[in-house]
Amino acid sequence: MDRAGQYEDLRAEIESVVAGETYIPARYASAASLLWQAFSPRFFWTGFYVVDPLKPSELVVGPYQGTLGCLRIPFGKGVCGAAAQSQETLIVPDVHAFPGHIACDSRTNSEIVVPVFDAAGQLAAILDVDSEQPDAFDEIDRLGLEAICRRLLTA
């Protein structure tokens, strides 16, 4: 199966696993697990930074698969913080060339980050996928991950 088809299957699987679940971290944890299982080792760190309800201009680490992640990322800092500010997907082929990149693990060479919105259209989290491979992510990843994130909190 091609990668677009893999993403479509994963989207359906994640939706059926989380359908009706009211505890939001369970949704994030299930998506992180299934994504990492499907695409590891290309997906090295795979998880969510959630908007802190007590400090709405800061992200705090949520469920993930991988090595220890930084706990907090202010909006505007690093790749996740930039995506939280712009509320748009970012593909970074070389993180070492990204101004202000936060290196939680020096093995990361490229990444993709995708915003997750709640049912009211408010930014709830950032999906962060980091890879040891340079230039690991393309438009297929963008479309596949955006489709998963679009339904993650509303399925």
Residues that bind ligand SME (CB under 6 A): 45, 69-70, 73, 78-81, 101-102, 104-105, 108, 111, 128, 130
State the minimum distance, in angstroms, from the CB of residue 143 to ligand SME: 21
Nearer to ligand SME, 41 or 121 (CB): 41
Residue nearest to ligand SME (CB): 78
Answer whether the bond into residue 115 is a cis peptide, omega within 30°: no
Q: How far is CA 72 from CA 59, 69, 83, 97, in A?
A: 6, 9, 14, 22
Nearer to ligand SME, 79 or 149 (CB): 79
State the minimum distance, in angstroms, from the CB of residue 61 to ligand SME: 7
Nearer to ligand SME, 7 or 45 (CB): 45
Name the residue type at position 65.
Q
Radius of gyration of the chain measured on its C-alpha atoms: 14
State the minimum distance, in angstroms, from the CB of residue 62 to ligand SME: 11
Count of beta carbons in the 10 Å neighbourhood of residue 75 = 19
CA distance 106 to 76: 21
State the minimum distance, in angstroms, from the CB of residue 40 to ligand SME: 15
3-state helix, strand, coil in the chain (%, to 5): 35, 25, 35
Nearer to ligand SME, 18 or 104 (CB): 104
Nearer to ligand SME, 130 or 147 (CB): 130
State the minimum distance, in angstroms, from the CB of residue 114 to ligand SME: 12
Q: How far is CA 42 from CA 66, 72, 97, 137, 139, in A?
A: 12, 24, 20, 9, 15
